[in-house]
Chains A and B, each alone.
Chain A
């Protein structure tokens, strides 16, 4: 078996369904593989139920944090920007890694659309926001990261996800309460591919993508396709994985925001920066500032909710 970090046109399928492991693996491969010009790496992965927010988003504005912890749905922040998405085993993650010069998101999306339309008799199209829609429903969301020497474009593909769980997880009561310059998601109605053609399964889709990927890159054989067990590379990816799991990265890299609640018709504005409450404006008699100033916002979130009474 050749080295895992060699370049060339390759397909790797992750054996892990842990979102933190997979995100760490994605970054490790993108940063360390010797990318050759005019070649692509296709990484295929899926996760146990989780919500993934973009690098500069506010998790409280994008999802129902309380519901996530109740249902033990993981919350993760990825390194690339963009909006929030819900993953479960019915949602395929695809990452295409290339050299910086070869980065071309439209080409990737058009390849996917053509491949799926032809094989499954669908009518997918690419929008100008670089989403893939089936009629008026969104089936794919994209995000990219460009570094000096390499770039990656990753996107999700709703095959047969639990859409009710998706909607419930991404519903945020706090959206209205938060003012900030964080990236906000653009919401759309979603649809599973399997809802339109019930012969589509996860297994069929990845088999199709692997075969067509090598054709697309003018490779004669499909031998450069491997399953990768991220645990075997634990030493290499553990720093990324620990960062992704850390409270600091999940909550404290959120761009500064102001969280406004109402207590008996009086507004209270809580300013949060780097995850820490830096200022509270409001009637001093209602809120005991000592208990909140300097605290981590996500740590005292429940107490803040209790104050929010009209």
Chain B
């Protein structure tokens, strides 16, 4: 029930005009929104500030209401439906109804277990070593994978870049490599990723060779590491928007 409450809380907090994008595009920036404090989307990789616990009464009130009809603040149905589904999923993953997810909860997803990047993906939900992710944090990570729509492109330039922009998508991928968060993919980090992704039949020596080459290929300033800029450049031709979008997160 806490989970639902948090959705209601968020949705209730947002004022109508911009609220549609608020979680996904991160445009809920108006100072009047109480949610503002938790959603500083201009820097998507900051740890989410602790979500204020909901006072009991609100939880109870929301619990009385059917989950399918939260107040109204998400005008277009798609986004709201997605959010509800995500919340449903969040609750399903949240084993002990504790209101947040731990690494353990995510590790239990069977298909993720056989994903070579499973650990890194899970880790990306827990920025800066935090132990739990609440629903807004959960959605914020997933928001990177929202498909880019045409309407998103002609946004007010003053607004922060939406989480699903090309740059943010790339940055999200980049931080899967960049373990030490120094803004660069070192040779060692590249090697680690290669170890995860390449089958055992390739020898360690070959892997090191490949890592060297990969870094060398992308490295332009000669510092022996791949910066985010260089990373972006190497993927210039790719349709990242499409590669890193999941249709169901519309």
A binds B: no
Chain B contacts to A: CB under 8 angstroms: none
